[in-house]
Amino acid sequence: MAVRLLVPSVALLGLLILAPTTSANHVQCGDVITESVKLDSDVACPADFEGSALVIGADNITVDLRGFSVLASTYDRQQTAIATDRPHRNVTLRRGTLAGGSVDALPVVAQLSDSVIRDLDAEGVSGMSVVGDRNVIRDNHVFASFGGIQIRGDFNRVLENEVFAVEGTGISASGRGLELARNTVTLDRGYGFHDAITVGNFQDIQIHRNIVSAFSSDGIVIGSGTGALIDRNIAVHNANGILVNEQAGEVVVSRNQANDNHSSYLENGTGIRVDSTSTVIERNSANNNFDYGIWAVPGVVDGGRNTASGNGVADCVNVSCR
């Protein structure tokens, strides 16, 4: 019996010895990544290095920073922590810090589709600039001198990010089928001459459950495009909490909270302002804003059940409020 038990035990031990193991990879400044890697240390570029710290150079790979940092060179304003050499698909970039030796660094500049960027701390002159389709950008912390997250393409999703931008727009997006959800976007109180979230050239998008504070500028700005659901957002401490421009069509503004909006720089503040007659306004609350709770051009669709109180000039214009 003992011999019979020993033989399979030895065989099993052999299998364990021969079994492949997952290990970290040593990556250096300037490397082009063409297969999945897990970092084993920080990647820091010297000040005189001209180029991207790491370059994504293949489809179907995962770049797992494992909590380490990728630091771009300070050679000039165009240095990036991570970039792509050309458009790629099915890439995952996750778990670490992307920054540079100065605020002029660019953490991520990428052409990606069907990819995921998540769980990153990104700091630089801008946060993330991504061009491509069907991407997910989620659970990131972005601190930017100018723009926080810029995304262009179709069916992209930007979810649960925390974005702070000093002078630029917090999240700027365009494309079909866009979803912006559960992001917290804050601009600097002293410099904020851009908007927390702005979209344009869009079709059939959803912006919901975000929290926005732009202070001297606007919270959520809907530019030119067709088909937008603006739902259950919280807009506080903006010039206009939510602004729908006249170039936007087929917009629904529903169940948002737009309170305490007041730009100290311009001495104005409106909870929800709608300049497009092709807009349904329903079930929003707009309280204690400097000028108006809800201001709309004549001809908008009043979906009812809007509430407003304590606004400086008037609670609601061209829609009924309780």
**Which tens digits make up the pLDDT trace of 123-176?**
988 899 999 999 999 999 999 888 899 999 999 999 999 999 988 899 999 999
How far apart are the C-alpha atoms of 177 and 214, rounded to whole Å? Answer: 25
| Residue 302 pLDDT > 90 | yes
Residue 11: pLDDT band (50, 70, 90) is very low
- HSE-CB at 47 with a 13 A cutoff on CA atoms is 2
Lowest mean pLDDT among 9-23, 59-73, 163-177, 192-206: 9-23
3-state secondary structure the chain: CHHHHHHHHHHHHHHHHHCCCCCCECCCCCEEECCCEEECCCEECCCCCCCCCEEECCCCEEEECCCCEEEECCCCCCCEEEEECCCEECEEEEEEEEEECCCCCEEEEEEEECCEEEEEEEEECCCEEEECCCCEEECCEEEECCCCEEEECCCCEEECCEEEECCCCCEEEEEECCEEECCEEEECCCCCCCCCEEEEEEEEEEEECCEEECCCCCCEEECCEEEEEEECCEEECCCEEEEECCCEEEEEEECCEEECCCECCCCECEEEEECCCCEEEECCEEECCCCEEEEECCCCEEEECEEEECCCCEEEECCCEC
Q: Is the pTM of this model over 0.85?
A: yes
User: Over 90: is that where the pLDDT of 10 sits?
Assistant: no
Task: Return the CATH number of the domain spanning residue range 23-317.
Answer: 2.160.20
Most confident of 97-106, 166-175, 286-295: 286-295
pLDDT at 46: 87
Please state the rounded mean pLDDT for residues 250-254: 98
Mean pLDDT over all residues of the chain? 90
- The domain limits of the chain are 23-317
